Structures are given as structure tokens and as C-alpha cells.
Amino acid sequence: MKFNTKTIHGGQEHDPAYGAVMPPIYQTSTYAQTTPGGHKGFEYSRTHNPTRKALENAFASIENGTYGLAFASGLAAIDAVIKLLKPGDEVISTNDLYGGTYRLFTKVFEDFGVKFHFIGMENADKVESYVNENTKLIWAETPTNPMMNIIDIKALASVAKKHDILLGVDNTFATPYLQQPLDLGADIVMHSATKYLGGHSDVVMGALVVKDEALADRLYFIQNASGAVCGPQDSFLVLRGIKTLHVRMQRHCENGKKVAEYLANHPKIEKVYWPGFESHPNHEVAKAQMKDFGGMISFVTKGNDYDEAIRIVENMKIFTLAESLGGVESLSGHPASMTHASIPKEEREKTGVVDALIRLSVGIEDADDLIADLEQAIG
């Protein structure tokens, strides 16, 4: 089955009760048993729920994996991955990553004795130089949030395989429409399904997909034992969102290209970060591992002035100033004071998250209207 068919049918069956084409929202916490253990495969909704199961099967299908897991948020999904580790274990992570992930690693799991190394991952040899006998996980975002760096997943996978380390890839920005990390050698693919998979800014949810049965069993155990699961209503909404993922992503990419090119030619803009530009330092890797370049763009105005950046995001009318990304509507953000405020200033500035950086999640409105909005806001 090709990707555009998988988004609609992958892992799905018509409901066995009445043949409903969309899985019903099984709004139940528990399931009747005829005798202890006498049930139809469902006992309690933290462990299993038919609507969530349908969604988890869809996650597995679109990422070319075998096992899907749905969580209450993207961070809950990452939390489950780090719970595979023990005190003394080490993680090599991208240094440019979502501020909440950085906060989870440094403010929660460091206290449990897990050590994190935050590094630029554009060079796999550099990543390998951080490997020691305690290294258990390499954690990569690509494209990174918010600097749009591109990391070569295949190259990281060969380092991970050589040293018997797990490789996890946060595929939130790219989505499986653009890249499929498991096919490139990753062991775990993760999503903030809040973003493009849900696609309509109405749900907070996380996803994991793996191929290996033993790894899946450990993650299902953690999912049930820790209990950060999503509800059936949210499962239904994200399942519905996935059905249009390929159509939405195509338009996000088309609009992203037009907006990125407009910004690159604007006299007041100093720099635009978007992997589709030939001048992007990892453009060749992006071309090789991604189908297109996506709708996420960051930029800095000339003079790198904080107040000017705030003025621009406040002036936008179609782009809504808000946290999050990946919905049908365009959003703008100011990472230094919003999504990445939990990263110390000197750390975030090392990766380029300067005070004047603005991040855009380009939606699927008419590109001319989006460009006109930027034109009036930048002035």
C-alpha cells in the first residue's frame, strides 16, 4: 500500500459491531467480563481502548513500523522512551531541540541519574566521539526545532548499530509524508501528534512507533504502568486528521516554499532558515532523506533587534501568534520568549535561537494572503 492510501486505510478495519466505517469513540473506562479474565481483549482503558488501538495501528502503518503507541502528549511519549533507561545511562541528544524536551531531560531525568550530552549532530563522527560504554540512546530531531538543521538519519543509524545503541527520531516537523526514520535505520520514531498528524490544533497527543517486538513490549509496559495515555475522543480526532495528512502536507510544502523565497528576498531580513534552500548547510541530506522541505521556517531581521521581532509578530493578522505548529492555520512564534524560554539564554544562543528569531508554521491558506500579511507586518 502506498503512503497516500495508508493515511486513509492503514491498519484500519470496519468496526466489528455494526460495520461503522470510522471507528466509534469507545468512551468507556472498562469492559464487562463474563468470568474473571473472560473478556473480548479489552479489560481497562489505560491498558487498551478500541478507538486508541485503531489510531495506534494507523501510526504504525504510516511510519512503516509494526507497533504504534499513543500517549497523552508528545512529551509523555518521550518520557516513556527515557524510562527505558537506568541511572548511569547516557543519552546523546541534538542540542537544537524543542525547549520542553530539553526541560524534561535536564530538569526531570538528570535528577534520576541519566546523563545527557547536547551536541550538534550534523556530523556523525562527532556523535560517535561521545559514545562510551554507558551510552544507551541517541535522540535526534530533524528538522530541528526551531533552527531547521537537518541530521543524516542513516549516518546516525550506522553509529547506533555499530555500538548497539537505540536511535530515536522525533519526526514531528517532517511527518512520515516527508521522511520515514524507521526505513532509514532508526529504532524508535516519535511524534508530537498535536502538530501535523492531528493537523487542526484541537488535540494534544504523542506517538511512538517501533518495529522490534521486544522493544514494543517494553514500551507498552511503560505506557500501561505509567499511564500517560490519551482518551478515545482525542484518538478519534487524530485518526481523522491522519486521513488528510498527505494532502495537507503537500500544501504546507508548496506554501512553505513561497513564503521562504519571499522572506529570503526581503531587504529587512538577515537570514532565513529553511532546508529547501540550496544554501542550507545540509540541503543535500535533506534532499536525500526528505520528499520535500516542509512548512516550518525561521528567520531573523537585520539588526537582530528583540523589539522589532516582537513588533512583527504582534502585527501579523493571518499568522496567529501562538505556541505549537502543524495545524491548517498559519502560526508565528518567538522561540526565545515562548517555546524555547526554558533553555538558558547562553545555551540557546549557541544554536542560533537569538532574541530576534521568529518561527513560522506556514498553514494551508492562500499563499498570496500569507505573503501580504508578512509584507504588512514586516513593513
Binding residues among 156-195 for ligand P1T as defined by CB under 6 A = 170, 172, 192, 194
Contact 316, 322 (CB under 8 A): no
For the purposes of burial, counting CB atoms within 10 Å of the CB of 378, is it exposed (0-12), middle (13-18) or buried (19 or more)?
A: buried
Of these, 50, 68, 199, 206, which contacts ligand P1T (CB under 6 A)?
Answer: 206
Which one of 152, 170, 187, 373 is the catalytic residue?
A: 170
* 145 lies in the site for ligand P1T, by CB under 6 A: yes
Cβ closest to ligand P1T, residue 50 vs residue 156: 156
Whole-number minimum distance, CB 72 to ligand P1T, in Å? Answer: 8
Please tell me what DSSP assigns to residue 329: S
Cβ closest to ligand P1T, residue 74 vs residue 256: 74
Within 10 angstroms of residue 273's Cβ, the number of other Cβ atoms is: 22
211 is catalytic: no
Measured between alpha carbons, how far apart are the two ends of the chain, in Å?
48
287 is catalytic: no
CA dihedral 137, 141, 146, 150 (to 10 degrees): 120
* 324 lies in the site for ligand P1T, by CB under 6 A: yes
Of these, 323, 368, 369, 375, which contacts ligand P1T (CB under 6 A)?
Answer: 323
Which one of 15, 46, 89, 243 is the catalytic residue?
A: 46
* 295 lies in the site for ligand P1T, by CB under 6 A: no
Cα–Cα distance, 173 to 170 (Å, whole number): 8
Of these, 70, 148, 260, 325, which contacts ligand P1T (CB under 6 A)?
Answer: 325
Which one-letter amino acid corresponds to residue 137?
A: L
Cβ closest to ligand P1T, residue 68 vs residue 333: 333
In the chain, % helix, strand, coil (3-state, to 5) comes to: 40, 15, 45
The C-alpha cell at 191 is 511524534
Which one of 98, 177, 220, 262 is the catalytic residue?
A: 98
* 75 lies in the site for ligand P1T, by CB under 6 A: yes
Whole-number minimum distance, CB 284 to ligand P1T, in Å? Answer: 23
Residue 200: helix, strand or coil by DSSP? coil
Binding residues among 231-290 for ligand P1T as defined by CB under 6 A = none
Contact 236, 25 (CB under 8 A): yes
Nearest alpha-carbon partner for 175 in 153, 155, 151, 199: 199
Contacts of 138 (CB under 8 A, 6+ apart): 91, 92, 93, 127, 156, 159, 160, 165, 166, 167, 168
Nearest alpha-carbon partner for 140 in 128, 152, 130, 125: 152
162 is catalytic: no
Of these, 68, 100, 199, 256, which contacts ligand P1T (CB under 6 A)?
Answer: 100
For the purposes of burial, counting CB atoms within 10 Å of the CB of 78, is it exposed (0-12), middle (13-18) or buried (19 or more)?
A: buried
Whole-number minimum distance, CB 319 to ligand P1T, in Å? Answer: 14
Cβ closest to ligand P1T, residue 50 vs residue 275: 275
Residue 227: helix, strand or coil by DSSP? coil
Which one of 195, 211, 248, 348 is the catalytic residue?
A: 195
Contact 181, 189 (CB under 8 A): yes
* 93 lies in the site for ligand P1T, by CB under 6 A: no
Cβ closest to ligand P1T, residue 304 vs residue 324: 324
* 73 lies in the site for ligand P1T, by CB under 6 A: yes
Cα–Cα distance, 338 to 250 (Å, whole number): 28
Whole-number minimum distance, CB 75 to ligand P1T, in Å? Answer: 4
Per CB under 6 A, the segment of 35-43, 94-102, 126-134, 301-309 that binds ligand P1T is: 94-102
Residue number of the CB closest to ligand P1T reads: 74
98 is catalytic: yes
Q: Which residues of the chain form contacts with ligand P1T (CB under 6 A)?
A: 73-75, 98, 100-101, 141, 145, 170, 172, 192, 194, 204, 206, 323-325, 333, 339
Instruction: Provide the annotated active-site residues.
Output: 46, 98, 170, 195
